[in-house]
Structure 1
Amino acid sequence: MATPINLSVMKAFDALDLLSEDRPELTAEVVARELRMSYATAHRFLVTLEAVGVLITVRRGVFAPGPRLARLGRMADDLAPLPKTLQSTLDRLRETLDESVMACRFTPRGPQCVAVSQAQRPISVNIRIGTTLPMLNTAQGRLFLAHMTPRDRENWSLAQGLDASAIAAINPTLQEVLACGYALNRGDNEPDIAAVSVPVLVEGRAVLTLSAFGTLGRMDSAFVDLAKEQLTKAAATLT
């Protein structure tokens, strides 16, 4: 029998994932709206996180990262750093593919961009480091979901407040992704934006995704084949 998951802990980390360079502070209103919970519950999460030093109050009702969160962040960087060659690998991929390339890490709210190499063309698609993408309708998110066990997917969907039908509907796609080793997004998340993504696997676990992304018109079958090949080779070097 699987060990029950504490959904309150998962929600607390979901709340922390709302922090970013563009949003360095949180309020109960923001947490309640984005995590689809009541104001009282959101406020309780924030006050509890403040009580343990993960957040601090910067003014009435406004919370920012606290000393304990900063210490954990430094520890995470020390203990689980990104590959030292990641940026140079992305730069080489960008030169080969002539498209923007990025790497994402898993977060419960969705894949988060941790490194990017922007295409050097007058018109290209860009993304900023720290941006969190949707899980269900992006190539990166589908890769992370595909490499979860069915039980982990179920726990994740419960923590995100998703109906079971949402995962059931995407399961055939996830099986296909797992079988072929890559995922595609052809305007599923943003109209006219496409991506091809492969996982960076460590002992069968997806720790990162590498993706080439750009305008839908440039992502024809020839480009997808080239991108799959180059991304897969690059992922192998990073492990």
Structure 2
Amino acid sequence: MATPINQSVIKAFDVLDLFGEERVELTPDSVAGELGMSYATAHRFLVTLEAAGVLSTVRRGVFAPGPRLARLGRMAEELAPLPKALPATLDKVRHALGESVMACRFTPRGPMCVAVSQAQRPISVNIRIGTTLPMLNTAQGRLFLAHMSARDSASWAKAQGVKDAQIECVEPALVEARDKGFALNRGDNEPDIAAVSVPVLIGGKAVLTLSAFGMLSRMDDAFVEAAISELNRAAAALGG
């Protein structure tokens, strides 16, 4: 029998995932709106996280990262740092393909961009480090889901409020990602934007995804084939 998941812990981390480069403060209203909970519940989460030292009050009803969160962030970087070769690796792939390239880590709310090498084009698609992508309709998210066990996938879906029907809709893409070792997004998330992504595997676990992304009109079959080759070579080097 599977061990029950504490949903309050999951929700607390969902609250923390709302922080980013463009959102350095949270309010009960913003948390309630983003996570679909009541104002009272959002306020309770924020006050509890403040009591634990994870958040700090900057003014009445407004919360920012606290000292405990900063310490945990430093510890996470020290214990699970990104590969030192990652920036140079992304630059090399970007130079070979002529399109932007990024690396993502898994978070429960979706893949988070942790490194990017921007294409040197007059017009290109940009993404900021710290941006969290949707899980179900991006190449990166589908790769992470494809490499989850059935139990982990079910736990994730329950914690995030994802319905069985939503998983069933993307299951063919997940099967294809598992079979082929890469995933594609051809305008599924944003119209006119495409991406091809491969996993960085360590011990059979997808610890990162590497993706080339850009305008859909430039992502033809020849480019996808070349991108898969370059990305797989980079992923193999990073995975050791």
Deviation at 1:38, TM superposition (A): 1.2
2:103 aligns with: 103
Superimposed CA distance per residue, residues 163-205 of structure 1 (whole angstroms, 9 cap, x where no aligned partner): 2211122122211111100000000000000000000011111
For the residues of structure 2 that align with 1:151 and 1:172, how far apart are their CA atoms? 18
1:150 aligns with: 150
Residue 82 of structure 1 aligns with an amino acid whose one-letter code is L
Gaps of 5+ in 1: none
1:16 aligns with: 16
1:177 aligns with: 177
1:78 aligns with: 78
For the residues of structure 2 that align with 1:72 and 1:89, how far apart are their CA atoms? 27
SS in structure 2 of the partner of residue 172 of structure 1 = helix
Deviation at 1:49, TM superposition (A): 0.5
For the residues of structure 2 that align with 1:204 and 1:32, how far apart are their CA atoms? 37
The TM-score with structure 2 as length reference comes to 0.98
For the residues of structure 2 that align with 1:32 and 1:58, how far apart are their CA atoms? 19
For the residues of structure 2 that align with 1:105 and 1:219, how far apart are their CA atoms? 23
For the residues of structure 2 that align with 1:34 and 1:166, how far apart are their CA atoms? 19
Deviation at 1:4, TM superposition (A): 1.4
Superimposed CA distance per residue, residues 72-120 of structure 1 (whole angstroms, 9 cap, x where no aligned partner): 0000011100000000000000000000000001111111100000000
1:121 aligns with: 121
The Cα RMSD (Å) is 0.7
Deviation at 1:155, TM superposition (A): 1.1
For the residues of structure 2 that align with 1:4 and 1:172, how far apart are their CA atoms? 29
Counterparts of 1:132-143 in structure 2, within 5 Å, are 132-143=132-143
For the residues of structure 1 that align with 2:128 and 2:194, how far apart are their CA atoms? 17
Task: Give the ranges of 4+ consecutive aligned residues of structure 1 lying more than 6 Å apart after TM superposition.
Answer: none
Size of the aligned set, in residue pairs, is 239
Gaps of 5+ in 2: none
SS in structure 1 of the partner of residue 213 of structure 2 = strand
SS in structure 1 of the partner of residue 83 of structure 2 = coil
Larger mean CA deviation between 158-167 and 109-118 belongs to: 158-167
Residue 131 of structure 2 aligns with an amino acid whose one-letter code is T
SS in structure 2 of the partner of residue 83 of structure 1 = coil
Residue 81 of structure 1 aligns with an amino acid whose one-letter code is P
Larger mean CA deviation between 180-189 and 4-13 belongs to: 4-13
For the residues of structure 2 that align with 1:40 and 1:148, how far apart are their CA atoms? 34
For the residues of structure 2 that align with 1:167 and 1:175, how far apart are their CA atoms? 12
Residue 65 of structure 1 aligns with an amino acid whose one-letter code is P
For the residues of structure 2 that align with 1:221 and 1:61, how far apart are their CA atoms? 51
Deviation at 1:208, TM superposition (A): 0.4
